A and B are shown apart, each in its own frame.
Chain A
Amino acid sequence: MQKLIRNINYLWNKFKNDNRLFWDELEEQMIAGDISIDTTAMILDEVKKNAYSENINDPERIETLIKSEIIKILEINKNTELNIPHEPPAVFLIVGVNGTGKTSSVAKLASMFKKDGKKVLLSAADTYRAAAVEQLQHYAEKLNLDIVYHQKFSDPGAVVYDSIEKAKAKGIDIVLIDTAGRMQTSHNLMEELKKIKKVISGRINRDADEILLVIDSTTGQNAKKQVELFNKSLNLTGIILTKTDSTSKGGIVITIKNDLKVPVKLITSGEKLDDMSYFDAVKFTDLLFS
């Protein structure tokens, strides 16, 4: 990720005589970081209010104010803990639009849980994309995990059904379900996910323990619609933000948090299996400002 606000000292000196231009510049930089117009305005209004009331005359302190506003937003619903019920197996459903990093996130999660000594099973419910199963199989072999898969184009609901049954029989702790990428606007494919969700609750007598939406951090304002519509269909429990090693500033997360309150639980920062960590609002914001 890259720095959200550049050269605040320089801006301060340049626009010494025109406050408005100073704030305009800040606004632009925040929008350029994919924070929405509304969220930007909200943050800056708050910052201005504080800056004036406390008579702050120092750009670095203004930067600190912005930072703390962002942390405040990111800490809404800050619970990143993954829900693992007492009665195994825990069932996690991983969803998202095409190419965001669902399959590799499944592998990274699996690797994380395996290190914790948990028994993990991979469920290859992407029966649509060419070689999607082979991709997941590769990870299963690498991590030495059980995997359940069916034929190409078969019903993903059936894969999920078999996965949970097998997990029960084999005393598996966590079932990670990889699904095919889909646009949030595709009615039929969103219905398919709802059906998968029903299959899960039918098997474990509760909702899936986690329903995680994978979002690519280079995505612009459309990410908001992704969260909105996936959430409407599935009731998400959290977000995995991928590719934070890119040059994007991930500002869309701030907007999502502010508008929709769905918690970001995990981030990935590379293509290696251990490039995944729990989301930390303060650390994340530090990255944006360092």
Chain B
Amino acid sequence: MFDTLTARFEDLFYKIKNKGKLSPTDLDSALREIKLALLEADVNFKVVKEFLENVKTKATGEKILESITPYQQVVKIVNEEIIKMLGPSSGGISFSSSGPTIIMVMGLQGSGKTSSVIKLANYINSKFSRKVSIVAADIYRPAAVQQLKDMAKNINVDVFFQSGLDPVSISSKGVEFFRKNGSDVIIIDTAGRLQIDRDMMDEIANIRKKINPHLIYLVLDAMTGQEAVNIAYGFNEKVEYDGIIMTKLDSDTRGGAALSVYHVVKKPIEFISTGEKIEDFDLFHPERMASRILGMGDILTLVEKAEEVVSEKEAKLIEEKIYKNELNFEDFISQLRSIKKIGSLDKIFSMIPVPAINKNKVAGKINLDDSYIDRIEAIINSMTVEERRKPHIINGSRRKRIAKGSGSSVTEINKLLKQFSKTRQLLKQYSGTKGKSGMPF
């Protein structure tokens, strides 16, 4: 999610930063930029208005015009207000104290309900080790039930469906069935519908009445435009829900919808979905989203993910080696593998806090292609253990052999060796100044 909102803020703050002091006209042009940026990011225009009022009042109240650090002050205020506008941090799931927890999911066509149901089931299953089951209540879209069944199979979750029944009966039968079979959590996947479709909205209201879910989530596509608030509002009028699952955040959408919906409907975003893989699902953190918007990258998420895959001991060891300039290809390949565990290269890249403008430039140049890692891996795999441990012994004839073994060219081998020694130097410098490195790159 590197985008113009980030870029605009960065440009803006850069200007202010260079000036030192902020004049009232500076503040106004700052507010104007923020307005444009937010609108371009699909934040609802009414919400933008309110946001600007708040920032202005605060900025004036806190006397930032007289401050000698106006840059920090404005960033602070904008950041705080954005976090506020994004609503509370996800509270996670509160399970029913007696009997199974029943969850219903609803939303527009194509918003990502079915995959969210699967990801949610997997999340509950793996985080809380509870037995989750799913009821398939979409009788309209061709092969919707089959889709759910196929995906559920991958995560070992049972699906209830009975043909010939209407969605209300399917839901109540399904809930009864799983109640008896000892499920802890029962999730109901419903058909996509427009919030203005009377019959379909009556249907979902009836499902709710019949089965009385403990939790209802609205699934909302993060790429939705200005209508997001009306969609969120329309569903809530007819079937009040508890929270929102925001999907497709792996796109380069600026996610303005996320900024608006809480503000208008006062229903928190609980989960975000960031890719097509089952694990691409997470609790919503407003601070992270805000810092992403503000161009600070999602460094918190990245750090956390890196910590998950790199043990502290391993990190220490690497750090030491970097310091002694002893880093070799064996370390390198294990690091590459850790990176692959974190996610795809472009995803990792999008989480790194580099100014958006630079990022786009770099992204264009290095083609964030995961097969790049595979190629490097192939080359390193063709090295002998000795070569991996002591890269400096890799001479001309060895290079030729490695090239042959890995199906690459000598030029590629040369390039890798050169890059490697450069990286080694850089890392040494980095460890020299920072002194701490828990990150695998």
Contact = CB atoms under 8 A, between A and B. Distances in A.
Contacts of A191: 369
B196 A247 contact: yes
A28 interface: yes
Contacts, number: 143
A31 B149 CA distance: 41
A252 B248 contact: no
Contacts of A243: 108-110, 194
Interface string B245-267: 00010111110110000000000
Given A221-B42, A247-B194, A247-B231, A187 B346 contact: yes
B141 interface: yes
Given A98-B112, A222-B251, A271-B109, A130 B142 contact: no
Contacts of B251: 97, 183-185, 222
Contact of B252 (A128, A135, A185): A185
Interface in B115-152: 140-144, 146-151
Interface stretch (B50-58, B218-226, B236-244): B218-226
B110 A37 contact: no
Contacts of A132: 143, 147
Contact of B36 (A37, A134, A247): A37
A138 B109 contact: no
Q: How large is the interface on A (under 10, 10 to 19, 20 to 34, 35 or more residues)?
A: 35 or more
A187 B225 contact: no
B233 to A, nearest CB: 10
Query: Is chain B's binding surface mostly helix, strand, loop or mixed?
Result: loop
B110 A101 contact: yes
B248 to A, nearest CB: 7
Contact of B248 (A34, A36, A183): A183
Contacts of A237: none
Contacts of B248: 97-99, 183
Nearest to B230: A247
Interface in A222-269: 222-223, 225, 243, 245-249, 251-252
* B150, B225, B254, B276: residue with the most chain A Cβ atoms closer than 10 Å: B225
B226 A32 contact: yes
A98 to B, nearest CB: 7
Interface stretch (A87-95, A170-178, A212-220): A212-220
Contacts of B196: 246-247
A184 B151 CA distance: 24
A193 to B, nearest CB: 15
Given A97-B248, A98-B248, A222 B253 contact: yes
Interface in B328-382: 344, 346, 367-371
Contacts of B253: 220, 222
Contact of B346 (A32, A185, A220, A246): A185
A248 B234 CA distance: 13
A222 B41 CA distance: 8
Contacts of A156: none
A184 B253 CA distance: 11
Nearest to B112: A99
Interface string A32-47: 1110110000000000
A243 B230 CA distance: 16
Contacts of A32: 44-45, 226
A271 B143 contact: no
Contacts of A183: 248, 250-252
B143 A222 contact: no
Contacts of A36: 40
Contact of B151 (A97, A130, A187, A218): A130
A128 B147 CA distance: 11
B279 interface: no
A7 to B, nearest CB: 16
Given A99-B112, A130-B151, A218 B276 contact: no
A179 to B, nearest CB: 14
Interface string A126-152: 001111101101110000000000000
Given A98-B276, A187-B369, A221-B254, A138 B143 contact: yes
Interface in B149-173: 149-151
Nearest to A186: B346
A223 B227 CA distance: 14
B195 A134 contact: no
Contact of A99 (B149, B221, B228): B221
A153 to B, nearest CB: 12
A111 interface: no
A123 interface: no
A137 B146 CA distance: 12
Nearest to A220: B225
A130 B146 contact: yes
Interface string B169-189: 000000000000000000000
B367 A246 contact: no
A163 interface: no
B146 A220 contact: no
A99 B234 CA distance: 21
A99 B368 CA distance: 25
27 contacts: A32-B45, A32-B226, A33-B226, A34-B227, A37-B36, A97-B248, A99-B109, A99-B112, A99-B248, A128-B276, A131-B150, A135-B146, A138-B143, A139-B142, A183-B248, A184-B252, A185-B250, A219-B221, A220-B42, A223-B223, A225-B252, A243-B109, A246-B194, A247-B195, A247-B230, A248-B225, A251-B225
Interface of A: 28, 31-34, 36-37, 97-101, 128-132, 134-135, 137-139, 183-188, 191, 216, 218-223, 225, 243, 245-249, 251-252, 271
Give the top 5 A-B pairs by smallest Cβ distance, nearest first: A220-B225, A99-B110, A220-B42, A138-B142, A131-B147
